[in-house]
């Protein structure tokens, strides 16, 4: 392709909300053999919402949610946003006496949240902080077991129940005890299944990689039509997954939105960031899909194939 053709293709991409950072990436995209999709926020809408909240101790639900939302308030993770939103809703609508303010402004919840210290976001696990002298953990099994906290059977059973219905179970521990579990559902993007089918027709193999647990991952993959699933993958592990597909010289694309996807986006031959994703992911990627629509993965491959007019 001539430099002009590349320029034209870049312009066509831009007009369709596909930002291409350079001709090399554009050229590599024609040969993509595997597209590795992140799950949360990429295949799914990233508009997770809390569907279940169970407290296993005598703690009141409102107080429980207040603690959990306080811990999650500093996290950018879609699950964290869902938790804060749910707590906010609960606070205003189920305990209206707790405030005289209207529920319309997000900012009104901040006064309700508790002071948090030593906050840390642990990628692929959850969040950790201190509230009122207590260590608060909000995240997956790995997060709590790594801190030496045992998961009682009734908690495990409830989490499994959530996972089997494609939900993510979020465990909440105060100091050494698990206090409650939240169930979070994140619907698939409407176009996801069609895009997977389209890629298969183009001879491109879709793969799902996620930090989420196996049970939820399998349930989601089945819904969207992906056969090859890698679950419980830590952020650094996502880049390793990319390398494993590259071993035989295959050209591999990664589509992701999160901070945790950025090493994989950088490792991929073609990194594609969801425009609504985090800045770090966008920086690490070769392509930015501004419309947040997965159909643009197909647009990107098509555009490259046409520009370099490969006869297939």
Which residues are designated catalytic? Answer: 38
Can residue 231 be called a binding residue for ligand ADP (CB under 6 A)? no
Per-residue string for binding with Mg ion, 25-64, x by CB under 5 A?
A: -------------x-xx-----------------------
Of 13, 198, 258, 275, the one binding ligand ADP (CB under 6 A) is 258
Can residue 75 be called a binding residue for ligand ADP (CB under 6 A)? yes
Of 13, 32, 35, 139, the one binding ligand ADP (CB under 6 A) is 139
Residue 45's contacts (CB-CB under 8 Å, 6 or more residues apart) are 186, 187, 188, 189
Considering CB distances under 5 to 8 angstroms, the limit depending on partner class, which of Mg ion, ligand ADP, none binds residue 211?
A: ligand ADP
Q: Residue 6 CB, nearest distance to ligand ADP (Å)?
A: 32
User: What is the side-by-side order of every strand in the sheet holding 168-174?
Assistant: 49-55, 177-185, 168-174, 134-139, 126-131, 117-122
With respect to ligand ADP, which residue has the nearer C-beta, 20 or 273? 273
Can residue 124 be called a binding residue for ligand ADP (CB under 6 A)? yes
Give the interface segment with ligand ADP, choosing from 49-57, 87-95, 125-133, 240-248 (CB under 6 A).
125-133
Can residue 168 be called a binding residue for ligand ADP (CB under 6 A)? yes
Residue 147's contacts (CB-CB under 8 Å, 6 or more residues apart) are 128, 135, 137, 173
Of 31, 54, 66, 77, the one binding ligand ADP (CB under 6 A) is 77
Q: Residue 153 CB, nearest distance to ligand ADP (Å)?
A: 20
With respect to ligand ADP, which residue has the nearer C-beta, 38 or 286? 38
Q: Is 131 within 8 Å of 67 (Cβ atoms)? A: yes
| C-alpha distances out from residue 298 to 129, 168, 195, 225, Å | 41, 29, 7, 16
Q: Which helix (H) or strand (E) holds 136?
A: strand 134-139
User: What is the side-by-side order of every strand in the sheet holding 287-289?
Assistant: 18-20, 287-289, 270-274, 251-256, 32-38, 205-209, 228-230
Q: Residue 39 CB, nearest distance to Mg ion (Å)?
A: 7
Q: How far apart are the first and last CA of the chain?
A: 16
Give the interface segment with ligand ADP, choosing from 26-34, 73-81, 154-162, 219-227 (CB under 6 A).
73-81
Phi, psi of 301 (to 5 degrees): -65, -45
Can residue 269 be called a binding residue for ligand ADP (CB under 6 A)? no
Considering CB distances under 5 to 8 angstroms, the limit depending on partner class, which of ligand ADP, Mg ion, none binds residue 210?
A: ligand ADP
CB burial of 53-78 (b: ≥16 within 10 Å; e: otherwise) equals: bbbbeeeeeeebbbbbbbbbbebebb
Cα separation, 205 vs 200, whole angstroms: 6
The residue among 226, 214, 222, 198 whose CA lies nearest residue 160 is 214
Give the interface segment with ligand ADP, choosing from 155-163, 172-180, 210-218, 244-252 (CB under 6 A).
210-218
Which residue is nearest to ligand ADP, using beta carbons? 211
Phi, psi of 147 (to 5 degrees): -90, 10
Output the CA torsion 55→57→59→65 (10° steps).
Answer: -30
Helix (H, G, I), strand (E, B) or coil at 308: coil
Can residue 304 be called a binding residue for Mg ion (CB under 5 A)? no
Per-residue string for binding with Mg ion, 205-244, x by CB under 5 A?
A: ----------------------------------------
Interface residues toward ligand ADP, by CB under 6 A: 38-40, 72, 75, 77, 79-80, 124-127, 138-140, 168, 170, 210-212, 258, 260
Which parts of this chain interact with Mg ion (CB under 5 A)?
38, 40-41, 257-258
């Amino acid at each position: 392709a001539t430099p002009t053709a590349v320029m034209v293709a870049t312009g066509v991409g831009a007009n369709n909300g596909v930002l291409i950072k350079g001709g090399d990436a554009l050229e590599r995209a024609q040969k993509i053999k595997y597209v590795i999709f992140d799950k949360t926020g990429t295949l799914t809408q990233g508009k997770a919402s809390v569907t279940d909240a169970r407290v296993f101790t005598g703690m009141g639900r409102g107080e429980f949610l207040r603690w959990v939302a306080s811990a999650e308030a500093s996290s950018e993770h879609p699950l964290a946003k869902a938790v804060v939103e749910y707590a906010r809703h609960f606070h205003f609508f189920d305990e209206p006496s707790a405030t005289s303010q209207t529920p319309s402004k997000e900012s009104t919840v901040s006064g309700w949240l508790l002071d948090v210290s030593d906050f840390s976001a642990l990628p692929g696990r959850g969040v950790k902080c201190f509230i009122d002298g207590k260590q608060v953990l909000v995240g997956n099994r790995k997060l709590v077991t790594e801190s030496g906290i045992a998961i009682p059977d009734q908690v495990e059973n409830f989490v499994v129940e959530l996972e089997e219905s494609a939900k993510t179970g979020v465990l909440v521990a105060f100091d050494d005890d698990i206090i409650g579990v939240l169930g979070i559902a994140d619907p698939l993007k409407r176009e996801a299944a069609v895009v997977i089918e389209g890629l298969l027709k183009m001879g491109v193999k879709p793969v799902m990689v996620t930090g989420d647990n196996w049970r939820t991952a399998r349930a989601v993959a089945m819904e969207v039509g992906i056969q090859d699933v890698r679950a419980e993958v830590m952020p650094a592990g996502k880049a390793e997954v990319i390398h494993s597909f590259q071993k035989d010289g295959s050209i591999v694309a990664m589509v992701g939105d999160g901070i945790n996807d950025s090493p994989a986006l950088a490792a991929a031959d073609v990194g594609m960031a969801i425009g609504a994703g985090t800045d770090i992911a966008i920086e690490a990627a070769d392509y930015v899909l501004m419309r947040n629509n997965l159909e643009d993965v197909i647009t990107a491959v098509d555009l490259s194939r046409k520009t370099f007019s490969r006869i297939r």
